[in-house]
Amino acid sequence: MKAISINHFIKLLQFLSEKHHPVFSNPKPTRRIKYILPSMDMRDNTVFAIALVGYGWKKTFVAGADPNGLSNPLDSEVRKYLLEGECNE
């Protein structure tokens, strides 16, 4: 996975707040999120890890070195994981 900029992280937060808020989100089955724990590198203002904590689950996404350069950005992987959760629950 690739690290994301602060602007991409803010857009991800808006998406998470709208779609996966524990109280105000859509009533269809989704992974409800209690906590979002970002890890930022202040030297270049990128978010390189995001931990999501829900009700009975936790998932951490960490950007890493991809020798092929084919990996998805961190925010895309978070959205993909949450979408899969909607389909399986």
Residues 11-24: pLDDT tens digits? 999 988 888 877 76
Q: What is the value of pTM for the model shown?
A: 0.82
Spatial distance between the Cα atoms of 26 and 74, rounded to a whole number of angstroms: 24
pLDDT tens digits along 38-83: 999 999 999 999 999 988 889 999 998 666 666 789 999 999 998 8
Domain boundaries, the chain: 4-88
The count of residues in the chain is 89
Q: Token pair for residue 12? A: 């991800």
